[in-house]
Structure 1
């Protein structure tokens, strides 16, 4: 199954489920919402009528009450009202009054006078001083025959002397429930249809763009000369440009040519020095001069080996996309190892390494981090004045482990600051030596693998300062 069809079907499934869920919730909430509104109206009506008939109930003159006579004649009144497209031809309120024992003393329909309603929830709860209401079927076999009853107490001061109940069939509001359901379903179907049309348009656009990209990939695999088609400035266009860049790198049009050209240039100097020394040693010369030229050959050979070893290490980390199996690395241990690695250089140049380190742990490759920190310390030792000190600080800042290496040298010239991370670029050391120019690029690649960063610049108080930032392990 093609990816465009998969996306379309997935989109349809998500929209369909979401639409069904929303429509189901809306439709199912319409009926309870309408009935709750009706109950609220019945409460207001019951309490108003209970207050109006309280004096008649207290006096025991229900049969002579003008108010109750009018309520009884209310049922016979004919009306012609249109409510939201629904015709209403009759009034549906029924009013009953019970005494303090729950016996019906008045019924606007004239059906229940003398009956005992004391066990019905509306009367029973109201006589106890609680809110009384119930919904009861007029026909036990018909779900649609339910009638809502809401009661209010008839008071004589603090005493309840009776209960007035107002009731209304739930069927009277059913047309409004069905009308609301119909509208929701119609609008929901329209919304679902529009969503599906949008999904089709999106799937067509995505499939069309992917087809162009796949044709380009097929041409590249076949070895044809293919140009990247226009894909726009969206994610697919970004993916296409990334593939184009990867293609150039894999074909060696940039990376390998630059690397080999620079390497050949860097090796010219030691090779020429070795050749010159070897040619001179073919002639007769004093033993001291012979030893001098032999030492020069060995030094230049060591320089070539160092250059090649560091270049191979840099290529490995540049090609590595992620760490294989990151492990907890104690920065205390890492600093101790780096101090040991640098001990001979420190002794030879009478340098002091001043360490201030917090106990922190990061996740990563201990060997790579050790090499990266060693490169920074080597640089600091090369530029630090003889007899001075190098500061190595480890602290936690904003959830990151920050490693700072600072020397007391002359600092980095302004012209060199933008080129510090270029391969093979290096500055002349105060003692005349020159590095491979691969140390800082190696550090940058190691930091990228560990999700960290490296910054190199001049410290405000003098000297160069390198700063590593790594995520702290939880």
Structure 2
């Protein structure tokens, strides 16, 4: 009986060790070699190891998010404190210096607010189910392009919607899908030259809605392409531009929460192309 229950004892000991140390890197040693048997207890131990692997990955991702967030917040918070201390001595400043410090303080407050809101959104793993409804991607795209034209008047936005895709609906949270499209359009506008076009298309292809956003900027370097959706990742060409490096990470998270897939590729003739594939029901 003791020999037969030995794997259960190892499983229990591992669970107790993880509970005591909060370290999900521990694993249960599985029998190996030609004499190993695939019985119920072994399968249970293998499933427990798989669960521990998922737990470790989740914990690692959250720790990385906290570490990255603290790193990104440190600089704007230092700048906020500096300008606040400067305004505290406003009687020693000229009117121009006071106005410049106040404007910088307001700009930095907006940047920190946006960064914190983005972090809160990224910390959510799924969309709230009560807010899911049937939405028309064509209408969402038209709304997002209209808002982008107002926000980026120097950029020409074009929209080409396939007739077959006009009336199709998909389940989703309208505000979140609109945020996804807004992030893609803002990213494209940011890298487009003044007066340059940003092209959007919506097509029904093999039972999927393909929504593309294409700019005519410098494109994405081959070394940056695998990392464009990483949190806080900023390519060398983007480090001088405004933004926190969270927009595309948030866009992909929203896409996956809706059962869609967002990819990036080099556009023919130059520029970057982002493709959102949405299952059409």
TM range (shorter): 0.7 to 0.9
1:301 equivalenced with 2:98 (yes/no): no
1:372 equivalenced with 2:160 (yes/no): no
Whose radius of gyration is greater, 1 or 2? 1
When residues 275 and 222 of structure 1 are mapped into structure 2, their CA distance, relative to the original with a 3 A threshold, is: closer
Q: CA RMSD in A?
A: 3.1
Greater length-normalized contact order (CA 8 Å, ≥ 6 residues apart): 2
Query: CA shift at 1:324, angstroms?
Result: 5.7
Check conservation: 1:216, 1:228, Cα contact below 8 A: no
Q: TM-score, normalised by structure 2?
A: 0.80
Match of 1:386 in 2: 194
Q: How does 1:50-61 map to 2 (within 5 A)?
A: none
Check conservation: 2:149, 2:155, Cα contact below 8 A: no
Q: 1:352 aligns with which of 150, 156, 165?
A: 156
Q: How does 1:236-315 map to 2 (within 5 A)?
A: 236=44, 239-248=47-56, 252=59, 254-281=60-87, 282=89, 284-315=92-123
Q: What secondary structure, in the 3-state scheme, does the structure 2 residue paired with 1:339 have? A: helix
Unaligned 5+ runs, structure 2: 33-37
Q: TM-score, normalised by structure 1?
A: 0.49
Query: CA shift at 1:220, angstroms?
Result: 5.7
Q: 1:461 aligns with which of 247, 264, 269?
A: 269
C-alpha distance after superposition, 1:210-239 (max 9, x if no partner):
846863575268637894213479865653
1:230 equivalenced with 2:29 (yes/no): yes
Match of 1:327 in 2: 133
Query: CA shift at 1:453, angstroms?
Result: 1.0
When residues 223 and 321 of structure 1 are mapped into structure 2, their CA distance, relative to the original with a 3 A threshold, is: farther
- Size of the aligned set, in residue pairs, is 261
Q: What secondary structure, in the 3-state scheme, does the structure 1 residue paired with 2:27 have? A: coil
Check conservation: 1:351, 1:389, Cα contact below 8 A: yes
When residues 232 and 292 of structure 1 are mapped into structure 2, their CA distance, relative to the original with a 3 A threshold, is: farther
Q: How does 1:159-238 map to 2 (within 5 A)?
A: 211=8, 215=12, 219=16, 223=20, 227-231=26-30, 236=44
CA distance in 1, matches of 2:53, 2:277: 29
Check conservation: 1:390, 1:408, Cα contact below 8 A: yes
Check conservation: 2:149, 2:157, Cα contact below 8 A: no
Unaligned 5+ runs, structure 1: 1-206
When residues 419 and 218 of structure 1 are mapped into structure 2, their CA distance, relative to the original with a 3 A threshold, is: closer
Query: CA shift at 1:435, angstroms?
Result: 1.2
CA distance in 2, matches of 1:214, 1:321: 35
- In terms of fraction of residues, the more strand-rich structure is 1
1:337 equivalenced with 2:136 (yes/no): no
C-alpha distance after superposition, 1:235-268 (max 9, x if no partner):
6565323321344367x4x234322221111112
